[in-house]
């Protein structure tokens, strides 16, 4: 529901604020690992391998790629793009929605391991 809300808000504000010269776009990223998040969300190598299998490009995103997209969207070169949500996920969304659906494969022990991990 949150993704649908972001999409609706982006499009609504693009129409509402466009006449004032304000463009509204959003980025919908797939996995761009950070140490803290990845360590807590990926409890073992099997889950990491399963996650990578879901991505047609077979890898996670590089932070530079995400930054490059953001820079482009605010540049004059993208001046006619308004009301779009750009997905940058290596094709994961096209292969099957639900980024965390692979978590159903976790054992009870793996869930307990995740619950016990502290943020860092």
How many secondary structure helices (H) and strands (E) does the chain include? 6, 2
Whichever domain contains 43, its CATH number is 3.40.50.720
Assign 2 a pLDDT band (cuts: 50, 70, 90): confident
Which pLDDT does position 119 carry in this prediction? 58
| Residue 51 · residue 92 · CB < 8 Å | no
CA–CA dist 8, 91 (Å, integer): 22
Domain count, the chain: 1
Give the structural domain span for 107: 2-116
State pLDDT tens for residues 63-114.
999 999 999 999 999 999 999 999 999 998 888 766 566 666 677 887 777 7
State pLDDT tens for residues 16-73.
999 999 999 999 999 899 888 887 878 788 888 888 888 999 999 999 999 999 999 9
| Residue 78 · residue 18 · CB < 8 Å | no
Which pLDDT does position 104 carry in this prediction? 67
Length of the chain: 120
Task: 62-70: list long-range contacts, CB under 8 Å, 24+ apart.
Answer: 62/32, 63/32, 66/27, 66/29, 66/32, 69/27, 70/27
Place of tokens 């993704």: 3
Is the pTM of the predicted complex or chain greater than 0.85? no
Assign 118 a pLDDT band (cuts: 50, 70, 90): low
């Amino acid at each position: 529901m949150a993704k649908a809300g972001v999409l609706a808000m982006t499009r609504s504000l693009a129409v509402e604020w466009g006449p004032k010269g304000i463009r509204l776009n959003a980025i919908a990223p797939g996995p761009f690992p950070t140490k803290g998040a990845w360590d807590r969300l990926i409890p073992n190598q099997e889950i990491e391998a399963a996650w990578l299998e879901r991505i047609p490009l077979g890898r996670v995103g590089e932070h530079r790629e995400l930054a490059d997209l953001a820079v482009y969207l605010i540049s004059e070169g993208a001046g006619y793009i308004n009301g779009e949500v750009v997905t940058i996920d290596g094709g994961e969304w096209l292969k099957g929605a639900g980024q965390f659906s692979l978590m159903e494969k976790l054992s009870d022990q793996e869930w307990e391991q995740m619950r016990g991990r502290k943020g860092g």
